Structure 1
Amino acid sequence: MKASSRLGAAPALAAVAVLALTACGSGGTGDTGGDEPTAPAGSLAVMGDWSGCEAFGDFEVLQAQLGVTAIDGALQSDAIGEGIDAEAAGCAALFDLATFSDTQGSFDFSVTGDAAARGGLAPWSDESEAAANFADRIEQRRENLAGVDYTNETEGELAGDWDESLYIAADTANRHYIDAYGRHGDWVVYLSIDYLHDPGVDAYETAPDFYPDGTAETMAVYPFTTDELIAWVAQEHLSQIESDILQRAETEES
Structure 2
Amino acid sequence: MDGQHLGGPDRVALLAAIGTHGSITQAARAVGMSYKAAWDAVEAMNNLAGAALVERLAGGKGGGGTRLTPRGVQLVENFRRLEAAHHRFIDHLDSQHDGSADALADLDLIRTMSMRTSARNQFAGTVTKVVTGAVNDEVTLAIVGGQQIVAIVTHDSTVSLGLAPGVAAFALVKASSIIVAVGGDAGRLSARNRLAGTIARVRTGAVNSDVTIALPGGGTIGATVTRDSEEALELREGIAATAVFKASSVIVGVA
Shorter-chain TM range is under 0.3
TM normalised by structure 2 equals 0.24
Q: Which has the larger radius of gyration?
A: 2
Q: Whose relative contact order is higher, 1 or 2, with alpha carbons under 8 Å and at least 6 apart?
A: 1
